Chains A and B, each alone.
Chain A
Amino acid sequence: MTQTAPIIAMSGLVKRFGTLTVLHGIDFNIERGEFFSLLGPSGCGKTTLLRILAGIEQPSEGALLIDGQSMSGVPANKRPTNMVFQSYAIFPHLNVEENIGYGLKNIAISRAEAAERVAEAISLVKLEGLGKRNAHQLSGGQRQRVALARALVCRPKVLLLDEPLSALDKKLREEMQLELRALQRTVGITFVFVTHDQEEALTLSDRIAVMDRGHVLQIDTPRGLYERPANRTVAEFIGSMNLFSGRVTRIDPDGTVEIEGAEGTFRGTARSGFKAGDAAVAAVRPERIRINAAAPEAGANGVSARLQASSYLGDRSLHVLTSTASGQQITVQSGPSAEDMPAAGAGGLWLHWPTDAGLILPD
């Protein structure tokens, strides 16, 4: 195996529980040293996929290679992976040191070396001085660190994390995100991270797989997912997005596609191939829309709308409008200053955005 071969290769992974299929043919690779996230709403199959990687669940069909080795028939205890559980699964009858050293008893190393590795792991996750504490004397954040250290001390090739931050409060969660990212760079191990929180996935990951109902919808970098979502579901899941549905009326050779719908005619860039008459949506991010008093010039994107409410958020303002044509709700983000705010009570406002800010996605 060369160093450039993927650390994890999945092909055609299917998982069925009885008559329910939770994974429909998962095919993708995870590269060495990546921080890779599985992102999706609850029930999308992301945790099941992680448990298949760990060997806790067996796939119904398909092949899984970790570091070039087939994992078929390899039980969890023989895999080069370790997991941080959502509940942390700290052993309540053992103290911090014993918890962290748990997996080392299964490896042929001396007592002294095991103790050294435990001490190293304790300092890595900043739990110095807490080695003799019992599990129930630890805070949520500390338990999370114990779970991390316990998995890392075994020096896995892949670290699997199942929503490890979801039980923490917002401030601690943000701190831990930064630490987790730094930790991953320090140890250089491939992290596979499961989360339903898109902001968390964007903050942490090198690449993200967006999952829905047992399918992988798109695999891309955070920037790629935000700027070039592959379809409507991804567009709605990552950040907030205004969507106007219609049918394709024109396709330009440069990739610009025009659609016509109830709110008007919209032009934008398209990733997938369309033909005239296809159902499509024009998608535009709230921060790409400008609020104007006048209609746009002919051929440019514009929606006539009425202002419903504005909220001042310090660094920015959010405006909620409804389209004059259909009553559809539209969100616009502007700068915080008064000049960015449209005149209150104004009836005929126009929302403008440039062609390159609009995306045409299959509906």
Chain B
Amino acid sequence: MLRRPDFLWVYAIVFIAFLYGPVLLMPLFSLNDGNFATFPLKGFTLRHYSSMAANTSMILALENSLKIAVVVSVVSTGLGIPAALALTRFRLPGSRSIVSFMMLPLVIPSIVMGVALLVIILKFLGIQLSLWTVAAGHILICLPYCMSVLMSRLEGFDPSLEEASRDLGCNAWQTFVRVTLPLAMPGVISSLLMGFIISFDEFVIAFFLTGTENTLPVYLYSQLRFPNKLPGTLALGSLILLVSAVLVVVAEIIRKRGVQSGNPGDL
């Protein structure tokens, strides 16, 4: 066995501290009994968390964000399934360029996207800004993520499973319901979670496209102007961090388990 050099351990620890240290400061200060995010810490308290319950505008923003996230994850997964099926099942002319084209929102800076969407919605479509316009913008950026999760699931599929279903008397729709969808389910669930989390955390597009109502990240940002609200904001941020982390881990576990249980075709 080759001994791993010690300095690599040091490097790894420094790397992780650098990545997650700042993030972990947020829950730390949110539990601090003081109004300023500075050391030394003054003592442990949960009052920043308990005061959140009374903050109606924050709760309203949370509700808005949840509503948008649910709509976005369902719609982008719903749109992603037929698109992913078409791209993995048929030899379409130019399907590679279609895939690259659909993945484009991943690399367009969201501020550019936000401005562009704002101009289109206000100047060309003449639609009032609302939570719906935020949702539409979020669907646009979530679709590529949902598509890639779904496509990777559908690609690992033995095509003869669907052929066998047709051969045994099912039409295309019955085959989709009885074979394709159940086997793609891990992909569908992780696509739903992915869409939810991306929409829930998104700030830039929501900031541009929202009307009078706030989403949670936009609300959070607006609170930073008031120094005495900072610990409350930190508490809220910590909660979002926790929920996001849990969702991402769950999505990944489901995806991994799906990979293990099949290659459905190899069974």
Residue numbers of A with Cβ under 8 A of B are 54-56, 75-78, 81-83, 85-87, 89-93, 102-103, 106-107, 135-136, 150-151, 154
**Which residues of the other chain, B, contact A86 by a CB distance below 8 angstroms?**
160
Interfacial chain B residues near A54, Cβ < 8 Å: 167
Contacts of B170 in A (CB 8 A): 77, 106
- Output the residue of A82, A86, A87 with the most chain B CB within 10 A: A87
Which 4 pairs of residues, A with B, have the shortest CB-CB distance? A106-B169, A103-B168, A89-B164, A92-B267
Residue B147 is within 8 A (CB to CB) of chain A in the complex: no
From B168, which residue of chain A is reached at the shortest CB distance? A103
Contact, CB under 8 Å: A77 / B171? yes
Docked pose: A56 CA to B171 CA in angstroms? 12
Contact A85 B265 (CB under 8 A): no
Q: How far is the CA of A182 from the CA of B265 in the complex (A)?
A: 29
Nearest-CB distance from B163 to chain A (Å)?
A: 5
- 13 more A-B residue pairs beyond the given contacts A77-B171, A82-B168, with a C-beta to C-beta distance below 8 A: A56-B167, A76-B163, A81-B167, A87-B158, A87-B265, A91-B164, A92-B261, A92-B264, A106-B168, A106-B169, A106-B174, A150-B164, A154-B169
Tell me the complex Cα distance, A75–B183, Å.
Answer: 24
Question: CA separation between A76 and B179, bound complex, in Å?
Answer: 16
Whether A89 and B163, one on each chain, are in contact in the complex, defined by CB atoms closer than 8 angstroms, is: yes
Separation of A92 and B264 alpha carbons in the complex (Å): 6
Contact residues in A for B265 (Cβ distance below 8 Å): 87, 89
Tell me, yes or no, whether B262 is within 8 Å of chain A by CB.
yes
17 A-B pairs (CB sep. < 8 Å): A54-B167, A55-B166, A76-B166, A77-B167, A78-B169, A85-B163, A86-B160, A87-B160, A89-B161, A89-B164, A89-B265, A91-B164, A91-B165, A92-B261, A103-B168, A103-B169, A106-B174
Q: Given the complex, which residues of A lie within 8 Å of B161, measured CB to CB?
A: 89, 91-92
Does the CB pair B167–A93 fall under 8 Å? no
Does B182 count as interface, using CB distance less than 8 angstroms?
A: yes
Which residues of chain B are near A135, meaning CB under 8 Å? 267
Separation of A93 and B178 alpha carbons in the complex (Å) = 10
Q: Please, how many angstroms separate the alpha-carbon atoms of A93 and B184 in the complex?
A: 11
Which residues of the other chain, B, contact A83 by a CB distance below 8 angstroms?
163-164, 167
Interface on chain B toward A: helix, strand, loop, or mixed SS? helix
Residue from A83, A107, A150 whose CB has the most chain B CB atoms within 10 Å: A83
The residue in chain A whose Cβ has the minimal distance to the Cβ of B161 is A89
Q: A55 to B167, alpha carbons, bound, how many Å?
A: 8
Inter-chain CA distance A91–B170, complex, in Å, is: 14
B166 and A77 contacting across the interface, CB-CB below 8 Å: yes
Interface residues on B, range: 20 to 34
**A residues near B261, Cβ cutoff 8 Å:** 92, 136
Distance in angstroms from A133 CB to nearest chain B CB is 12
CA distance A219 to B161 in the complex (A): 32
With A106-B174, A136-B267 already in contact, the answer to whether A91 and B179 are too (CB < 8 A) is yes
CB-based contact B168/A93 at 8 Å? no
> A102–B160 contact, CB under 8 A?
no
Q: Which residues of A contact B182 (CB under 8 A)?
A: 93
Question: Interface code B32-49, partner A: CB below 8 Å = 1, 0 otherwise?
Answer: 000000000000000000
Contacts of B179 in A (CB 8 A): 91
Cα A78 to Cα B267 in complex, Å, equals: 27
In chain B, positions 185-228 with a C-beta closer than 8 Å to chain A are none
Q: Which residues of A contact B183 (CB under 8 A)?
A: 92-93
Residues of chain A lying within 8 A (CB to CB) of residue B178: 102
Q: What residue of chain B has the Cβ atom nearest to residue A18's Cβ?
A: B91
Contacts of B164 in A (CB 8 A): 83, 85, 89, 91, 150
Quick check: B165 and A56 within 8 Å, CB to CB?
A: no
Q: How far is the CA of A86 from the CA of B164 in the complex (A)?
A: 11
Q: Which of B160, B163, B169, B265 has the most CB of A within 10 A?
A: B169
Assembled-state Cα–Cα distance A85/B165 (Å): 11
In the complex, which residue of chain A has the Cβ closest to the Cβ of B262? A92
Contacts of B166 in A (CB 8 A): 55-56, 75-77
> Complex: how many Å from CA A344 to CA B40?
100
- Given A87-B158, A92-B183, decide whether A77 and B169 contact each other with a Cβ distance below 8 A: yes
Q: Closest CB of chain B to A97's CB: distance in Å?
A: 14
With a CB–CB cut-off of 8 A, which chain B residues contact A76?
163, 166-167
Most buried by A among B163, B167, B169, B182: B167
Chain B residues 137-185 with CB under 8 Å of chain A are 158, 160-161, 163-171, 174, 178-179, 182-183
Instruction: Name which residue of chain B comes closest to A93, CB basis.
Output: B182
B160 surroundings in chain A (CB, below 8 A): 85-87, 89
Chain B nearest CB from A151 CB (Å) reads 8
Q: Could you say which residues of chain B place their CB within 8 Å of the CB of A85?
A: 160, 163-164
Which A residues lie within 8 Å of B163 (CB)?
56, 76, 83, 85, 89
A150 to B158, CA, bound (A): 18
| Contact yes or no, B168 A154, CB < 8 A | yes
Complex contacts, B165 vs chain A, CB 8 Å: 91, 102
Q: Are A150 and B267 in contact (CB under 8 A)?
A: no
A115 to chain B, nearest CB (A): 17
Report B-chain residues with C-beta under 8 Å of the C-beta of A92.
161, 183, 261-262, 264, 267
How near does chain A come to B94, taking the closest CB pair, in angstroms? 16
Neighbouring A residues of B267 by C-beta, 8 Å = 90, 92, 135-136
In the complex, A219→B73 CA distance in Å?
58
- Kindly list chain B residues whose C-beta atoms are within 8 Å of the C-beta of A102: 165, 168, 178
Residues of B within 8 A of A56 (CB): 163, 166-167
A241 to B170, CA, bound (A): 47
Provide the residues of chain B in CB contact with A90, threshold 8 Å: 267
